Amino acid sequence: MSGDTRCDILFIEDDSDDIFLFKRAFQRSRIPCDVHVVNSVEEAEAYLTGAGAYADREKFPVPDVIVTDLAFRGESGLEFLNWLHYEVHLQNTNRIEVISQRPSCSQPPREQNFQHGGHRAHGDS
């Protein structure tokens, strides 16, 4: 990226320490990206469809990159990836890169990540 070009990252994370570290890493890297954080799959779906509080696309733009954990409290990151893959309103936004993380203690097969629409998988052993 050069000049005034910025990217928008949607970070889906429910752990406040991980959110702090992720945002801090971007601040220190000086990579020109705005990090938007949601704490659940439900919030991510609302953000991406522009529902409710996320209707203002100036404030909550469609992201260039989504970074998500595959293990949420009570929710499945794989279900989210599947929803994202088939969401009618987002089918024409193939430009969204999805990067997923898996906790080492709960490793679904890597292929499952890709079958559900993930582009990158981190945490592979």
CATH at residue 91: 3.40.50.2300
pLDDT at 113 over 70: no
Quick one: which of 37, 15, 34, 18 has its CA closest to 26?
34
Q: Report pTM.
A: 0.75
Which domain, by its residues, includes 48?
Answer: 7-122
- Tell me the per-residue pLDDT of 23-54, one tens digit each, with 9 for 90 and over: 999 889 988 899 999 998 899 999 999 999 99
> Does the residue 87 lie in any domain?
yes
* Total of domains in the chain: 1
d(CA 93, CA 89): 8
pLDDT of residue 87: 74
Q: What is the pLDDT of residue 103?
A: 58
pLDDT at 2: 45
- The structure tokens 């529902």 sit at 51
Position 73 scores a pLDDT of: 64
Evaluate whether residue 1 is within a structural domain: no
Q: What residues contact 66, with CB distance under 8 A and at least 6 apart?
A: 9, 10, 12, 44, 84, 96, 97, 98, 99
**Each residue's pLDDT tens digit, 56-107:** 999 999 999 999 877 766 667 778 888 887 776 665 555 788 887 765 544 4
Is 68 domain-assigned? Answer: yes
What is the distance between the alpha carbons of residues 91 and 93, in angstroms, rounded to a whole number? 5
Residue 22 lies in a domain: yes
Answer yes or no: is 70 within a domain. yes
Give the separation between CA 30 and CA 112, rounded to whole angstroms: 33
117 to 12, 21, 82: CA distances (angstroms)? 15, 26, 6
pLDDT value at residue 24: 93
Asked if the structure places residue 2 within a domain, the reply is no
Is residue 28 in some structural domain? yes
Answer yes or no: is 46 within a domain.
yes
